[in-house]
Chains A and B, each alone.
Chain A
Amino acid sequence: AQSVTQPDIHITVSEGASLELRCNYSYGATPYLFWYVQSPGQGLQLLLKYFSGDTLVQGIKGFEAEFKRSQSSFNLRKPSVHWSDAAEYFCAVVGYSGAGSYQLTFGKGTKLSVIP
């Protein structure tokens, strides 16, 4: 079964600073990887996804993520954080769970706070 680890529970950055949120996954084959953002009391919005091909993927709101197979990582980055980026960020992986079914597994999330 697949798993996702987000090592940082809470990160605080200054507005305008760069950001990197870490995500490590465990899965035996090539994974499908996602980053979602959740604002307080809201549902999840897809930021970006990786299926295959170019290992650097661009997403919405100026985010990007890089898939590194050798490190089993899919870290999310943004060069300059805006106050509106304060939210909870979830990394997720889809893996084959047997009997023709696939399952989406989430990390525990990283809460991002932005200080002016």
Chain B
Amino acid sequence: EADIYQTPRYLVIGTGKKITLECSQTMGHDKMYWYQQDPGMELHLIHYSYGVNSTEKGDLSSESTVSRIRTEHFPLTLESARPSHTSQYLCASSAFSGTVNYGYTFGSGTRLTVV
């Protein structure tokens, strides 16, 4: 049973459209992340959040933006989609207690194709 949900699973959209990829988790985790993964490639961190109203950019530069208004919700938005944004986007959350990391849980991903 998934505790972190991403919608939609698949999205094909035209160039220039605005899109929002949804990510929600029911575990009460403070920390949430967005990763981008091209087919057959490694994952790259593009955004993360350590709590409500906290967002940071990751290692890989991305034209997307994120928001964190509620603990359980971490949507990613592309204001104007381009073919170069075609990729899989994975959302994750994690729990920490002091310096102890209790692991990361990933959603099933959104496979985005921009035509």
Inter-chain contacts of A42 with B (CB < 8 A): 108-109
CB distance A34 to B109 under 8 Å?
no
Nearest-neighbor residue (CB-CB) of A48 within chain B: B103
Docked CA distance A63–B36 (Å): 27
Which residues of B in the span 87-115 have a Cβ within 8 Å of any Cβ on A?
88, 90, 92, 94, 96, 99-101, 103-109, 111
Which residues of B in the span 6-43 have a Cβ within 8 Å of any Cβ on A?
6, 33, 40-43
Number of residues from A at the complex interface, CB < 8 A: 25
A-B contact count (CB 8 A): 52
Nearest-neighbor residue (CB-CB) of A10 within chain B: B40
| A44 part of interface (Cβ distance < 8 Å) | yes
Q: Tell me the smallest distance from the CB of B101 to a CB of chain A, in Å.
A: 5
Interface residues on B, range: 20 to 34
| A22 part of interface (Cβ distance < 8 Å) | no
CB distance A94 to B107 under 8 Å?
no
Docked CA distance A101–B92 (Å): 16
Contact stretch, chosen from A12-20, A64-72, A76-84, A102-110: A102-110
Q: Known interface pairs A90-B43, A108-B42. Does A34 touch B103 (Cβ–Cβ under 8 Å)?
A: yes
CB distance A36 to B101 under 8 Å?
no
CB distance B104 to A34 under 8 Å?
yes
Q: List 30 A-B contacts (CB under 8 A).
A: A34-B104, A41-B88, A41-B111, A42-B108, A43-B90, A43-B106, A43-B108, A43-B109, A44-B43, A44-B90, A44-B92, A46-B103, A46-B104, A46-B106, A49-B103, A90-B42, A90-B43, A92-B104, A94-B104, A96-B99, A101-B50, A102-B101, A103-B45, A104-B33, A104-B45, A104-B94, A108-B41, A109-B40, A109-B41, A111-B40
